[in-house]
């Protein structure tokens, strides 16, 4: 039976590759891009809705030690307290508007007694790619307007470290309240707060994300299409091989082995026929 041709190792290997690829497209790659599209849509909605909303006191948005959730991110809050400049940490390996940058993270003790992490903004590296000089935060009690942000996740879970080239200045690889808390022995509330422009202690105010949907939905649809095309291609070649003259057909009963012609042979035969018709 010709169905036995499909049990050959080469065909089984091809079938396994096609189905594994299609499964990955449907269950991993496509859903991953759909999730990114939903995240971007939620972020755009949160940022756009915050433009017309009045800033609320921090306690009205987040209770003490409450971890910010996605529905609270980008909300504008009012924070009153005192900066703790001795516990400042520099976030390195950052990019702002496509250019390298550092971000300055300064804990602040609120008038209620809790400690929060303030992202004062960004600095451009100096000509030696080091942290340039920058203004210290103001002394005494200040009132800030900032946006709620969720802690970043560092895949390597790296702690902050003291940079010997800058007199022991603390550096970190992510903007994360727990990383800063471990380095400074402070009990910092989860999440951090990104300063608005014109606020006390702000450096280069970080820009808000662009309100664009991004290419994620089209990427997701492309992965679904790739998986579908792989299955349809496999089905097409399977049907073709089950017909007489398929590439998997090795020997014919009572006939000689059939070989497919190469492209070069076909072109050569076409040229010979054209020459024969010309001379005739």
Does the residue 146 lie in any domain? yes
Residues β-bridged to residue 95: 100
Per-residue pLDDT of the chain (280 residues; tens, 9 = 90+): 566 767 778 888 888 999 999 999 999 988 888 887 777 777 667 666 666 678 888 888 887 778 887 777 888 889 999 999 999 999 998 999 889 999 999 999 999 889 999 999 999 998 778 888 899 999 999 999 998 888 998 888 899 998 776 667 899 999 999 999 999 999 999 999 999 889 999 999 998 776 666 787 888 889 999 999 999 988 888 887 777 655 555 544 444 445 566 666 777 777 787 777 776 6
* Angstrom distance (rounded) from CA 223 to CA 239: 25
Does the residue 145 lie in any domain? yes
pTM of the model: 0.64
The Cα-based distances of 236 to 43, 216, 233, 254 in angstroms read 43, 30, 5, 28
Give the domain extent around 157: 75-195
Write the DSSP assignment of 152-184 as a string of letters: P--TT-PPPEEEGGGTTEEEESS--HHHHHHHH
Q: How many folded domains does the chain comprise?
A: 1
186 C-beta neighbours (distance < 10 Å), count: 16
Q: Which residues of 217-233 are buried (b: 16+ CB within 10 A; e: fewer)?
A: bebbeebbebbeebbee
Does the residue 221 lie in any domain? no
Does the residue 252 lie in any domain? no
Does the residue 254 lie in any domain? no
Does the residue 271 lie in any domain? no
Question: Residue 77 burial (CB < 10 Å; 0-12/13-18/19+)?
Answer: buried
The answer to whether the CB of 150 falls within 8 A of the CB of 73 is yes
Does the residue 262 lie in any domain? no
């Amino acid at each position: 039976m010709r169905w036995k041709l499909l049990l050959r190792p080469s065909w089984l290997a091809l079938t396994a590759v096609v189905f594994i690829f299609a499964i990955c497209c449907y269950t991993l790659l496509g859903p991953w891009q759909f999730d990114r599209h939903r995240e971007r849509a939620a972020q755009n909605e949160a940022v756009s809705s915050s433009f017309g909303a009045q800033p609320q006191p921090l306690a009205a948005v987040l209770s003490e030690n409450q971890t910010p959730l996605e529905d609270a991110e980008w909300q504008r809050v009012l924070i009153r307290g005192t900066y703790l400049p001795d516990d400042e940490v520099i976030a390195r390996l950052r990019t702002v508007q496509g250019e390298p940058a550092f971000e300055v993270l300064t804990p602040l003790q609120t008038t209620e007694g809790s400690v929060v992490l303030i992202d004062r903004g960004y600095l451009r590296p100096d000509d030696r790619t080091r942290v340039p000089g920058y203004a210290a935060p103001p002394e005494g009690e200040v009132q800030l307007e900032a946006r709620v942000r969720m802690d970043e996740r560092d895949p390597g879970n790296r702690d902050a470290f003291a940079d010997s080239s800058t007199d022991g200045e603390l550096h970190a690889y992510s903007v994360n309240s727990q990383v800063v808390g471990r380095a400074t022995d402070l009990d910092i509330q989860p999440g951090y707060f990104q300063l608005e422009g014109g606020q006390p202690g702000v450096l280069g105010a970080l820009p808000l994300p662009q309100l664009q949907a991004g290419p994620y939905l089209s990427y997701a649809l492309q992965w679904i299409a790739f998986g579908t095309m792989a299955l349809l291609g496999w089905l097409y070649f399977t049907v073709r091989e089950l017909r007489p003259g398929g590439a998997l057909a090795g020997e014919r009963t009572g006939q000689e082995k059939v070989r497919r012609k190469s492209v070069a042979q076909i072109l050569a035969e076409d040229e010979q026929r054209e020459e024969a018709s010309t001379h005739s």
